[in-house]
Amino acid sequence: MTTYPGSCHCGAIQIKYQTPKEPAAMRPGRCSCTFCRRHGARTMGDPEGSVEYRAAPGALSKYRFGLGITDYLVCSRCGAYVGAVMEDDGRLIATLNVNALDIRDSFDPAPPLHVYDGEDEQHRRSRRRKFWMPATLIA
């Protein structure tokens, strides 16, 4: 496993992404929702890997919208969107905004745009179980 560090813009939220993959094998995408598009997010899940988000006291803001099943993680100090977590069957799974990784320049600046409009909760959870990764959130 290789560890790829990252953080929000001000460093108050630290990220530790672990994976057996090399950057060339990682495939981020773009979500078409207004939240992700307004943040310029390029996100990625990795069922073979894991991610840890560690926030300084008072630095983590969680935002929910849409189906209300996901916490979008935003730094309350600098406003950077670093990723999203969802509780599923007693565990936390996540996607990662690769813009918050130190290796962000390794990725396609305009990866494929994915449209998830019309998904109900069951379909959204099912898709995320396949593509998101185990997560730890320390705040």
- pLDDT, tens digit (0-9, with 9 covering 90-100), for 99-111: 999 999 999 998 9
The predicted pLDDT at position 26 comes to 94
Which residues is 35 bridged to in the sheet? none
Provide the 8-state DSSP code for 9. Answer: S
The predicted pLDDT at position 137 comes to 98
Tokens of 70: 């996901």
List all residues 6 or more positions away from 86 whose beta carbon is below 8 Å from its beta carbon: 69, 70, 71, 92, 93, 94, 125, 128, 132
Residue 33 and residue 56: Cα distance in Å, rounded? Answer: 28
Regions in the chain scoring below 50 on pLDDT: none
Chain centroid to CA 65: how far? 15
